Amino acid sequence: MIPSLSDFALQEKDVLQALSKATARDVDYADMYVESCVTDSVSMEESLVKRAVKSISQGAGVRAVAGERTGFAYSDDLSVRDLEIAADTARYIADSPQGDNPIAVTHRAQPSRNLYPLSQPLTDITTEDRVDLLNKIDVEARRYDPRITKVMASFNTEQKIFLVVNSEGQLVGDIQPLSRLQITCIAEDGDNRQIGTFGGGGRVGFTFYLEQDRAMEFAREAARQAIVNLGAVEAPAGTMPVVLGGGWPGILLHEAIGHGLEADFNRRKTSAFSDLIGQAVASELCTIVDDGTLPFRRGSMNVDDEGTPTSRTMLIEKGILRGYITDRLNARLMKIPLTGNGRREDFRSIVLPRMTNTFMLAGESDPQDIIRSVKKGLYAVSFGGGQVDITSGKFVFSASEAYLIEDGKVTKPVKGATLIGNGPDVLKKVSLVGHDMKLDEGIGTCGKDGQSVPVGVGLPTIKIDEMTVGGTAMG
């Protein structure tokens, strides 16, 4: 299904006339992004599904780009008058009078594929079905272990419809579904209280959660983590070998290199990766891509928020830095390929180059052999969030489930600890890459410049010879 301007009660001629107010002699490019988003959320705690929230948001953002300058204005009123005011404001940046070149749509591009064909629109899932799912999760998580004392779960869906029309005469739109199930368990044993969280989702419909017993598996996994943490000892402090499990630990790639390869920081030369194209930034075992074309994935899109089809971009090939991820502005100014990574949180936000699904390709090692190769170190399988200082390259990510490795064996669980490293160096210390590449379950949200967008990550089991682990126990 392709959206049309009539979904917004707008006529093409009015939109084009408004957008033409954003163009002027010095404006290189202008676009108008019209969006509507419906989100539905139900949540459960104390074995009661007692909260339900629905929100409807719609509006339009207009921008005009002149050289490196961007003028941007938005309105949550979609009247022709408000669109014209926004367009006129955006043009201010160009410092030249309004143009009189009318814009005509010459390229009515429809996404040539549908990466997320759903049998039922997310907005059609009944509240009763949502409530029923959460109730079953509660029972399942509590059944896992009597020490599970609290279960909290939420199920959120979002249906985003947008159209973007630009000064080059292109009109493109997409309907992007997104859903997520999130479960938190608290386990208690005397005074010892621990938390476990798990979840999953993607650009998937309701049946995804019911297939393969997935929702119940998520519930058991959240409960299992909380129980494991009841037995956690203090994490070690200091530098040591670190083995990362497959899947979500790929957040390492997102923080350590992904952000540093976003084109805007490199155009400004404010990234620790600036001017490193063609150089070795990782061991030759590492090949890393950003791929927005994987069906049903949380970070995937048919087209990005500028209407550019998403693609698979080689970031690091056998250790060599190959490319950056771009939006229109930065691709044009840097004269490098457009990769379909122009993303925005919503109509209120400007477009930035952002990651989609970022992962490392599988290697050849057996994951068990990787663990056996470590005499004393840390094995981390689940993480909370991470953060990076783009300029210095220093990044952190925090383990929520980790174990000691002693004499090649996984032994005691340890308390959560933050791992810290230097982006351009850390992957040079990758000495083994497993054959078990796995994508995460679909829960990632990336923040940049105050904007949140859904992303995916993936990783095979890998060994990093040396990393600083921020525990509390003197190693």
Partner 1 sequence: MMSELATSHSDRFSEMAAAVLKRAKTLGATEADLLVAEGDSISVQIRLSQVDRLSKAREKVLGLRVFFGKRSASSSTSDFSEASLDRLVQDTCRLAQAVVEDQSSGLPSADQMAADYPELDLKDSRQLSVEEEIDLARRTEQAAFSADSRITNSEGAECSAGYGSILLANSHGFTGSYASSSYSLSVSPIAVDNKNGGMQRDFWYSAKRKFHQLDSPEYVGQEAARRTVRRLGSQQISTQEIPVVFDPETAKGLLGHLASAVSGYSLYKGASFLLGQLGQSIASDLVTVVDDGRLPGGLGSRPFDGEGLATRKTIVIDKGMLTSYMLDTYSGRKLGMASTGNASRSVGENPTVGATNLFLSPGIHSPEDILKSMKRGLLVTDLIGFGVNLVTGDYSRGAVGFWVENGEIAYPVEEVTIAGNLKQMLKDIEMVGNDLEFRGRLASPTVKIRKMMVAGH
Site for partner 1 in 31-90 (CB under 8 A): 42, 45, 48-59, 68-77, 82, 86, 89
Phi and psi (nearest 5°) for 444?
Answer: -75, 135
Give the Cα separation of 340 and 356 in Å (integer): 9
Least distance in Å: CB of 271 to partner 1? Answer: 9
Would you list the DSSP string of 191-254? Answer: TEEEEEEEEEEES--THHHHGGGHHHHHHHHHHHHHHHHHTPBPPEEEEEEEEEPSSGGGHHHI
Q: Is 92 in the site for partner 1 (CB under 8 A)?
A: yes
416 near partner 1 (CB under 8 A): yes
Distance from C-alpha of 362 to C-alpha of 461, rounded to nearest angstrom: 9
Give, as ranges, the residues between 338 and 367 that touch partner 1 (CB under 8 A). 348, 350
Least distance in Å: CB of 389 to partner 1? Answer: 6
* In the complex, least distance from residue 382 CB atom to partner 1, rounded to whole angstroms: 13
Check if the beta carbon of residue 306 is closer than 8 Å to that of residue 351.
yes
Tell me which residue of 234, 258, 353 sits closest to 315, measured CA to CA: 258
Site size for partner 1 (CB under 8 A): 80
- CB of residue 69 vs partner 1: minimum separation in angstroms? 5
Q: For residue 146, state whether it binds partner 1 (rule: CB under 8 A).
A: no
Q: Both tokens of residue 291?
A: 């791929």
- If one asks whether residue 333 binds partner 1 (CB under 8 A), the answer comes out as no
104 binds partner 1 (CB under 8 A): no
Residues 182-211 binding partner 1 (CB under 8 A) are: 184, 186, 188, 193-195
CB of 374 to partner 1, least distance (A): 18
The answer to whether 440 and 222 are in contact (CB under 8 A) is no
Residue 421 interacts with partner 1 (CB under 8 A)? yes
Site for partner 1 in 292-321 (CB under 8 A): none
> Which CB atom, from 320 or from 396, has the smaller least distance to partner 1?
396
Q: Under DSSP, is residue 179 helix (H, G, I), strand (E, B) or coil?
A: strand
Single residue of 21, 142, 147, 150 touching partner 1 by CB under 8 A: 150
Task: State the Cα–Cα distance between residues 384 and 249, nearest whole angstrom.
Answer: 9
Stretch of 19-27, 96-104, 207-215, 230-238 lying at the interface with partner 1 (CB under 8 A): 230-238
Q: Are 218 and 144 in contact (CB under 8 A)?
A: no
Q: Nearer to partner 1 by C-beta: 282 or 402? A: 402
Q: Please list the residues that pair with 198 across neighbouring strands.
A: 183
**Separation of alpha carbons 292 and 313, rounded Å:** 9
Q: What would the x/- binding string for partner 1 be over residues 165 to 184, using CB under 8 A?
A: -------------------x
Minimum separation from the CB atom of position 387 to partner 1 (A):
4
For partner 1, which residue of 293, 391, 431, 451 counts as binding (CB under 8 A)? 391
358 in Cβ contact with 254 (< 8 Å): yes
- For residue 382, give both structure tokens: 């689940």
